[in-house]
């Protein structure tokens, strides 16, 4: 079966010294300390160690062949969003990241599709770079963070970005980032295990309660990690809307459940019952294979959970593995050939 994996992260193999380039710290650099491994360093502190599959398309394609993945939809690692920085510097970094991704997609057009990154903290510049991503680089969409500094995704300042995305047919992939790492969240990897699902749910509720999806009904938005806790708590969210409209319905009088069938999520749930609930709540046409490759919290054999679901028909499995991604990103399926897994 064809597999189009909507959720993958990639970095350039090298990029300029950003502290030197912009004149201040806070940036991530990649230090290649031994063959096939590198350290992501932030102001001299280790953020994460990554392997060659994080930057080398040849290594990625070998691993894709091993697991039968036809196409990876590439996006940057969220720590690179850099919404905190001076807008012109973030724009410059976005161009570095987007241009590197474009080279890979152009070199291997049957294996990779790109989602760009834009300086969301400066909406005019974000619109400018989004248009370049779509109209010049040929990307079908961009990846954005679950919030932008102090703005949730309902912020009035962000509306021009959503309006332009709808107008030019740019899909949005929303990824959690910038979780609380302090205090009670320091232990047990809680920012990733608890904070990320909460971030995603906050982003979804902000777009729903804030009327973003009402104002831009043709806007295509997909949320990472199976929609966080939203699919499980939508009943609570709707109940809150009904009993406290003075708090929940202040910007949009429409019941949140109305947007089920409009919202997309990836499939990354790690649990068959959770995946079954997700498909039931979000919709058979709105869940897309997403693995979070190449990181530890991802599905290490992309699509294996979907193919293992005994109560899913072959038609439904095909939608989840490839068909829905083609619809979401407006991809021509005939340009890709299924890859038979070697493992």
The proportion of the chain whose per-residue pLDDT surpasses 70, expressed as a percent, equals 100
Average pLDDT score over the chain: 96
User: What pLDDT score was predicted for residue 249?
Assistant: 96
Reply yes or no on whether the pLDDT at 107 is more than 90. Answer: yes
Mean pLDDT along residues 230-240: 97
Long-range CB contacts (< 8 A, 24+ apart) of 37-46?
40/11, 40/77, 40/79, 42/79
- Residues 59-98 have pLDDT tens digits of 999 999 999 999 999 999 999 999 999 999 999 999 999 9
pLDDT tens per residue across span 322-331: 999 999 999 9
Specify the pLDDT at position 182: 87
What is the model's pLDDT at position 297? 93
Tokens of 294: 């190449």
Q: CA 20, CA 212: separation in Å to the nearest integer?
A: 39
pLDDT in tens, 141-192: 999 999 999 999 999 999 999 999 999 999 999 999 988 888 999 999 899 9
**CA 322/CA 329 separation, integer angstroms:** 11
Distance of alpha carbon 24 from alpha carbon 85, whole angstroms? 9
- Model confidence at 245, pLDDT cuts 50, 70, 90, reads very high
pLDDT of residue 343: 64
Rounded to an integer, the average pLDDT of 195-212 is 96
- Residues 44-63: pLDDT tens digits? 899 989 999 999 999 999 99
């Amino acid at each position: 079966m064809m597999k189009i994996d909507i959720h993958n992260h990639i970095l350039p193999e090298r990029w300029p010294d950003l502290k030197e380039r912009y004149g201040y710290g806070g940036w991530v650099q990649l230090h290649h300390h031994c063959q096939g491994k590198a350290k992501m360093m932030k102001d001299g502190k280790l953020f994460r160690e990554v392997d060659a599959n994080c930057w080398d398309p040849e290594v990625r394609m070998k691993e894709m062949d091993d697991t039968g993945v036809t196409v990876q939809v590439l996006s940057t690692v969220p720590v690179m969003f850099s919404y905190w920085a001076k807008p012109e510097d973030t724009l410059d970094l976005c161009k570095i990241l987007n241009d590197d991704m474009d080279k890979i997609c152009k070199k291997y057009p049957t294996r990779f599709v790109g989602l760009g990154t834009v300086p969301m903290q400066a909406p005019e510049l974000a619109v400018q770079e989004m248009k370049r991503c779509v109209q010049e680089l040929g990307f079908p969409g961009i990846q954005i963070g679950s919030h932008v500094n102090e703005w949730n995704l309902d912020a009035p300042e962000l509306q021009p970005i959503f309006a332009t995305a709808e107008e030019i047919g740019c899909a949005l992939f929303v990824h959690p980032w910038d979780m609380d790492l302090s205090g009670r969240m320091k232990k047990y990897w809680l920012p990733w295990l608890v904070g990320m699902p909460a971030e995603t749910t906050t982003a979804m509720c902000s777009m729903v309660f804030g009327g973003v999806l009402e104002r831009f009904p043709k806007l295509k938005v997909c949320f990472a990690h199976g929609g966080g806790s939203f699919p499980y708590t939508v009943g609570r969210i709707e109940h809150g809307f009904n009993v406290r409209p003075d708090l929940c319905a202040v910007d949009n009088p429409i019941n949140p459940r109305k947007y089920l069938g409009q919202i997309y999520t990836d499939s990354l749930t790690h649990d068959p019952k959770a995946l079954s609930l997700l498909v039931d709540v979000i919709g058979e046409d709105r869940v897309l294979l997403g693995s979070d490759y190449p990181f530890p919290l991802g599905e290490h054999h992309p699509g294996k959970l979907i193919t293992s679901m005994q109560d899913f028909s072959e038609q439904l499995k095909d939608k989840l593995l490839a068909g829905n991604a083609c619809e979401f990103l407006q991809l021509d399926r005939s340009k890709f050939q299924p890859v038979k897994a070697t493992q």
